[in-house]
Amino acid sequence: MIATGQLIFSVAIFLFCFGALTFFTKRSAVVALMGIELMLNGVNLVLVQAGQIYKNAEGTSLVLFVTLVAAAEAALALSIFVILYRKYGTLTLENFRSLKG
């Protein structure tokens, strides 16, 4: 029988790896951003659990900062997506190659 800490860490690893897979393989920019949110969510889980194991408040305090940065990032990225969609008519990542040398 596994302990609760191991279960929580396993869930966090699954969330992080599925988020990374989503970010690597999806062609839509919005879904790739969802992958980043999944990865941040897994990191939050690890922070809370590690804070409880090591008995200090740093972990749970960091979670609030991570949440705040994620919210700011999502708001900015989604407004950038709206502008990209107006300009190019698509959100498929392969079409944005104006920076390709």
Partner 1 sequence: MNQATDLIAGAPTVFMWVASFFAIFFALIVFVSSNPISCAVALMGTLFSTAALYFSLGNFFVGAIQILVYAGAIAVLFVFIVMLLDLKPQKLKNLPGRLPHFLFSGLVAGLLALFLFRTIDLVPKATEDSSASILSATQYAQYFLSQYQVPFQAAGLLVFGAILGAIVLARGHLGKKEHS
At residue 40's C-alpha, the angle toward residues 37 and 42, to 5°, is 110
Task: Kindly state the smallest distance separating residue 61's Cβ from partner 1, in Å.
Answer: 6
Residue type, 85: Y
Nearer to partner 1 among residue 26 and residue 99 (C-beta): 26
Helix (H, G, I), strand (E, B) or coil at 31: helix
CB 78 within 8 A of CB 34: no
Task: Kindly state the smallest distance separating residue 94's Cβ from partner 1, in Å.
Answer: 10
**Distance in angstroms (rounded) separating the CA atoms of residues 61 and 47:** 9
Nearer to partner 1 among residue 4 and residue 98 (C-beta): 4
Nearer to partner 1 among residue 57 and residue 99 (C-beta): 57
CB 78 within 8 A of CB 72: no
Task: Kindly state the smallest distance separating residue 101's Cβ from partner 1, in Å.
Answer: 20
